[in-house]
């Protein structure tokens, strides 16, 4: 099996003001700095207004920074949008794209997500492309088909294992406390691994994260599942102790 270093990503979503974000980021940077060699890379994705101050707070640390979205365009008359260059200017290495909350709240299509990912790649960002089925789709036995369609439509030409991470997030498990069973996760991640062939260069080295109610009590079991190469964590990433416990459960 290809060895893939774990990535533990914290998606703060629309939570926290400057003081909260700086305290959390500084706490995590201190833990990363003091940990020595780890089995994981740690990433935080704060809301846009916090990127610059958080970048200053974690400067010199191995804690990585990412955005929660970016535009498909590089600049211009696009009110409210944030260009990939603005993320790199703020010190970001990663950007989350196609999160189910963006797909639902903003009507983002697979084609738009692919365009955003291509724009992110052009600026040297690593795109974390999110996929996952709803509860009704799972109940109808469509989980793999839905994920296949999202992968086919959302991964741009030029994607490689170095510039693209896939996050499998079953919508029904996000923020609900319902976690997919290790067997559910194993089956979908194996399906995604097979689907990446031909869509991502060096597909066997591409990371596939699991997201959806990951917490300290279930992290070790989930992170041990084959083809689970880390986690995309929402609620539990807002508490340093919980997020660090999830990360250090990686072996």
Ligand X SMILES: O=C[C@H](O)COP(=O)(O)O
Contact residues toward ligand X (CB under 6 A) are 11, 99, 169, 174-175, 211-214, 232-236
Binding residues: 11-13, 175, 213, 234-235
| Nearest Cα to Cα of residue 120 among 77, 160, 161, 70 | 70
Catalytic residues: 99, 169
Residue facing ligand X at closest CB distance: 234
Is 29 or 232 the residue whose CB approaches ligand X more closely?
232
Which residues, 6+ apart, have CB-to-CB distance to 88 below 8 Å? 123, 124, 125
- Taken in order 99, 178, 232, 207, the sign of the CA dihedral is negative
Binding residues for substrate: 11-13, 175, 213, 234-235
Helix (H, G, I), strand (E, B) or coil at 131: strand
How many whole angstroms separate alpha carbon 137 and alpha carbon 150?
A: 13
Least Å distance, CB 138 to ligand X, is 16
Is 48 or 73 the residue whose CB approaches ligand X more closely?
48
Is 10 or 84 the residue whose CB approaches ligand X more closely?
10
Least Å distance, CB 207 to ligand X, is 15
| Nearest Cα to Cα of residue 86 among 100, 99, 101, 73 | 73
Place of tokens 């189910």: 100
From residue 151, alpha-carbon distances to 119, 169, 175, 207, 217 in Å are 17, 13, 23, 14, 30
Pairing relation of β-strands 64-67 and 40-45?
Answer: parallel
Least Å distance, CB 228 to ligand X, is 14
Least Å distance, CB 234 to ligand X, is 2
- Cβ neighbours around 122 below 10 Å, total: 14
Q: What is the largest CA-CA distance in the chain?
A: 48
Is 155 or 236 the residue whose CB approaches ligand X more closely?
236
């Amino acid at each position: 099996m290809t060895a893939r270093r774990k990535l533990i990503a914290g998606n703060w979503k629309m939570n926290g003001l400057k003081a909260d974000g700086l305290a959390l980021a500084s706490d995590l940077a201190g833990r990363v700095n003091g940990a020595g060699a780890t089995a994981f890379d740690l990433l935080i994705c704060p809301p846009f207004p916090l990127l610059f101050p958080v970048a200053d707070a974690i400067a010199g640390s191995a804690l990585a920074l990412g955005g929660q979205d970016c535009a498909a365009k590089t600049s211009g008359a696009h009110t409210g949008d944030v260009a990939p260059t603005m993320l790199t200017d703020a010190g970001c290495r990663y950007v989350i794209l196609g999160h189910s909350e963006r797909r639902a709240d903003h009507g983002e299509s697979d084609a738009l997500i692919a365009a955003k990912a291509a724009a992110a790649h052009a600026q040297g960002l690593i795109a974390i492309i999110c996929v996952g089925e709803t509860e009704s789709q799972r109940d109808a036995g469509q989980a793999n088909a839905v994920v296949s369609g999202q992968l086919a439509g959302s991964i741009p030409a030029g994607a490689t294992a170095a510039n693209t991470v896939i996050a499998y997030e079953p919508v029904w498990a996000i923020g609900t406390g319902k976690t997919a069973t290790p067997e559910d996760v194993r089956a979908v991640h194996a399906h995604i691994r097979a689907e990446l062939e031909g869509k991502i260069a060096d597909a066997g080295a591409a990371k596939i994260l699991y997201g959806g109610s990951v917490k300290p009590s279930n992290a070790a079991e989930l992170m041990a599942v084959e083809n689970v190469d880390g986690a995309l964590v929402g609620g539990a990433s807002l508490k340093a102790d919980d997020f660090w416990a999830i990360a250090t459960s990686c072996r």
